Chain A
């Protein structure tokens, strides 16, 4: 219900009509501002950045001359894979526990929900400091790929948990009942019936998590460090693309290259968003049918 019929407006007395027009106008204004800001930001960065996307920015080796982003891109991929490897199973399993196993009103479940909500609200710099104190210093992993990955894994855990939970809840109970009726146990029902049905929703969540990882800076500076090389092992320091961009733009010497890096980041994020909503849309279609 978005619109009242046209004839209805004509029947409205004059003062009411004026108010209606004013109220509608302010909401439209807000929408115009939001969209205009987004368009301006994206178009501005694309126009300024695309001409600077030169081949030397993608050379395999980073030097202070070419400030290549290639090592950072590779590091970002590694960091993403590693963080997901930790966070995805944990997040999906906890969601399975919450939706399929836990009884309502269980204290443990309440604690899980409260802490997950807390995790979702913690700013990335606090994660970064925690990672520095725990993974880097206490566990002596140094500034490294693995310290960064564990820090990011905790950070995206609530994202994956929440979306997986929603996806599991969206699976109709009939499916479970049918499976139980055929004599399958709970575990088998979860893995052969519920999870496959919920895959698109879970994937959408995982993709959102990827977006968070790719865009993260504050949590990584003091956990993974800023070395612009492809890591030799899990324990070498790496910079991801966002950290790379922060270093470039802070130095102030490489404005053009910063624009170019911003373009790459923007395009990646747009791709990730499009993919996530495409996948989630398929879920809606399927469960709707």
Chain B
């Protein structure tokens, strides 16, 4: 092999590694450059805390959408966290090997199903169910919470399971030796030891829920006003962008990009929290 090849390829590899840095920079620059001017034109207070979103009369307040995203995410966590964490405990500590061989691919499939399919499922199953049993149109905050709760399950299960498996075996054994049952040992010594990892799982779940778009649009009703109740429609930040971007222009369009900036900042905070927790739990 010729001598120049070695250093040349080294540079090629390094340049390739630089792609993700470049991509993040470009994403930041383009989002902020296109979104921030609108925020200042509208006024940060009016934009972030304004309760009215009426592009027709040039009123752009995204507070209802921020609250909508937070409510829907909280609801999803209420469903997804207990089920997901307990499922992770089951998979890491309780389930027999033969069952694990079936459960692992099952959670992976849950992660692989496209969000449109989830959205469609919500539309044809959960929406009518809510409409017939609880009233309202069915396209509601509750429906979105349930659907998102299902969708974040695989994320939570995956991270939580590896966090539980990363706990040194002697914690468990020590607890057994002190006379605790298998169950007590798992819940009172393994689970607490995996705390940061389990928190990381929840935080990643929050990120998934707040960023989910298509499935939410299909089931949440999307009314751009302050959320009024579990059975009323709600619009999230993500939905706001997709629904109106197609026909927007000028300040309206910029306000939508600014909505994405707000979402992006949320995600950056969540990502930061996630990597912090991840480092602490040595995942």
Contact = CB atoms under 8 A, between A and B. Distances in A.
Interface string B173-212: 0001000111110110000000000000000100100111
Contacts of B112: 211, 215, 269-270, 272-273
A125 B14 contact: no
A235 interface: no
B211 A126 contact: yes
B252 to A, nearest CB: 14
A245 B271 CA distance: 31
B103 A35 contact: yes
Interface stretch (A51-59, A184-192, A194-202): A184-192
B30 to A, nearest CB: 5
Interface stretch (A61-69, A77-85, A153-161): A153-161
B20 A112 contact: yes
Given A24-B183, A30-B90, A2 B97 contact: yes
A179 interface: no
A121 B114 contact: no
Contact of A126 (B114, B150, B157, B263): B263
Interface size class of B (residues with CB under 8 A): 35 or more
A269 B260 contact: no
A17 interface: yes
B271 A117 contact: yes
Interface string A128-142: 111011100010000
B116 A249 contact: yes
B21 interface: yes
A225 B260 CA distance: 19
Contacts of A34: 83-84, 87, 106-107, 110, 153, 157
A29 B182 contact: no
B124 interface: yes
B62 interface: no
A133 to B, nearest CB: 5
Contacts of B24: 115, 118-119
A130 B23 CA distance: 10
Nearest to B186: A23
Contacts of B120: 45, 245, 249, 258, 262
Q: For chain B, what secondary structure do more than half of its interface residues adopt (helix, strand, loop), or is it mixed?
A: helix
Contacts of B95: 2, 31
A174 interface: no
Given A101-B14, A122-B264, A125-B242, A130 B94 contact: no
Contacts of A218: 115, 213-214, 238, 242
A114 B90 CA distance: 32
B114 A265 contact: yes
Contacts of B13: 93-94, 96-97, 100-101
B194 to A, nearest CB: 14
Interface in A1-16: 1-4, 8-9, 12, 16
B14 A108 contact: yes
Contact of A118 (B172, B245, B268): B268
B20 A161 contact: yes
A176 B271 CA distance: 35
B110 A12 contact: no
Given A187-B9, A217-B115, A250-B218, A123 B17 contact: no
Given A2-B97, A186-B6, A249-B116, A30 B87 contact: yes
Contact of B30 (A17, A130, A215, A262): A130
Interface in B96-116: 96-97, 103, 105-110, 112-116
Given A97-B17, A122-B267, 11 more contacts: A3-B96, A28-B94, A34-B84, A37-B150, A93-B17, A126-B260, A126-B267, A128-B242, A216-B114, A218-B214, A265-B117
19 contacts: A1-B169, A1-B172, A19-B183, A29-B86, A31-B91, A31-B103, A34-B106, A96-B13, A101-B10, A112-B18, A117-B274, A126-B263, A127-B27, A130-B30, A133-B34, A138-B30, A217-B214, A245-B117, A255-B124
